[in-house]
Amino acid sequence: MTAVPLLRRPAPAGDRLIVGLQVLGAIVIGLGAAFVAATMDPLVAVTVAGGLALILLSIRWPTLSLFVFVALVPIEEAINISGLGTLSRWAGIVFAGVYALPRLGQLIPRALPLAGWAYVGWAVLSLSWALDPSTAQGELQTLVQLALIGFLIADVVIHDPRSVRPLLWTYSTSAAATAAIGITLYLVGGVTDGRTAALAGQNPAQFASLLLPALIFALHEALQGRHALAAGLVSLFCSAGIILSGTRSVWLAATIVVFLLLLPRFGIRRAVVALTVVAVFGIALLQVPGVASLVADRAETATTSGGAGRTDIWAVGIGIFESSPVIGVGYANFPVAFTSSLIRSANVTTDIGTGRGPHNVIVGTAGELGIVGLILLALFIVPLVLRRGWGPDGLVVQAILASLMIDALFLDILSNRKQVWIVIGLAAGLAYLAKRERRRAAIPGAASAREARATGAGGPPLGHSSPGALREAPSGGTA
């Protein structure tokens, strides 16, 4: 049995400070509700009142706001209130506030790898040489916010790795509901170009990217035999939504990860059963009018143009990189540098237009942050993808992150998509625990001390012993 650190238990409900904060919060909510009911739009009023209630409850249960944030990410585009933004954004802000502020002395800076901090810092520094600093500044705000959320999620995982699976179930259930909406729109003829999404005007590729983590997690749970019915339903809804979205990069990412990471871990019998179910479901889905032609058309355009002219975009991207190979043209400035002159110099004859995004995390990072930024990003992400994290959830988190990084080779999702940084946070937290466990295993006598504690024979804990520091507790999993 492996020991992992948990936060000290929160103060008892009768603690005077917490009771006082709850009473004060109730008063504030009451006054706020009276104000918004009289002066604000009903939707805004409900949102503000719900946010105040979430803050009050999160004082007692800090990770509640994290679960709300994770649940809102797949459906965040459904409600975008003018002047306030998405609900998931504000849930993330609440989580950051109620979790981080009371724990400033307990947060672990290395929860996010040092290379991750360096990558974000280099992106911020690129403001000083960006072609258009205002464009870089706007996108950097999003990157910094997401990096902080990823760091805090990693810290949560380090203190309580048992939260990984509930968080993934929360996300996957919400994603399955989003997929159901997209499937319904397709069946009732609510799509115009043959590709479905959950909302009118939503990018089908981003819709599919939201479903990808849920599909990988649900397949893993089904293969494990855990909650097989629920996992099967989530898998079917998400796979159908991904196919109907016509997003080839997600098709490719899911196929590679399932065949190379998941199926080989569960033996021949389970692999055959899973492949049979997938084949039967795929054949049935192809019988739906329009699906077979959608799949054939998307596959054909991928072989002829690289998908939406991506090969031409990447050719221009090489020119952008060559214009400033060491430091780049500035964060988020790839579209700014994507000019007519560079298109002509790349010998691109197709009219692909100016101001295009890179559609590739490698090409985009190299062009915007140069070889320095590309190296920092590789040092940050590659170890999380190649090395499995601690515990029984290490494999599925590794598989999800690998699928998203494959998707990022064709879509711009790293810098501005919350689901990517949620998974990065989970992977970073488990990687920290795995690294610490390897260090402990290298200490003479550490293994015997753990065994002694597990059998009740006593022995000093390996964690911190100072007041307010972390303590050790069994995780329920093995390394």
* Residue ranges of domains in the chain: 1-107
Q: Which residues of the chain have pLDDT under 70?
A: 1-59, 78-85, 190, 192, 302-308, 444-479
Instruction: Give CA–CA dist 3/1, Å, rounded.
Output: 7
DSSP letter (8 states) at residue 471: E
Of 162, 259, 161, the C-alpha closest to 216 is 259
Instruction: Give CA–CA dist 236/93, Å, rounded.
Output: 33
Instruction: Give CA–CA dist 359/102, Å, rounded.
Output: 40
Identify the pLDDT of residue 415. 87
Instruction: Give CA–CA dist 28/30, Å, rounded.
Output: 5
Identify the pLDDT of residue 88. 80
Identify the pLDDT of residue 453. 46
Identify any residues that bridge with 473 across adjacent strands, giving them in sequence order: 4
List, for residues 278-291, the tens digit of each pLDDT value: 888 888 888 888 88
As given in the structure block, the two tokens for residue 427 are 């992977």
DSSP letter (8 states) at residue 307: S
3-state SS class at 308: coil
As given in the structure block, the two tokens for residue 91 are 């849930």
> Which DSSP helix (H) or strand (E) runs through 6?
strand 3-6
* Contact indicator for 105, 468 with CB cutoff of 8 Å: yes
* Contact indicator for 234, 172 with CB cutoff of 8 Å: yes
Identify the pLDDT of residue 46. 54
Instruction: Give CA–CA dist 390/427, Å, rounded.
Output: 9
Identify the pLDDT of residue 291. 83
List, for residues 185-207, the tens digit of each pLDDT value: 888 876 767 788 887 778 899 99
- pTM assigned to the model: 0.82
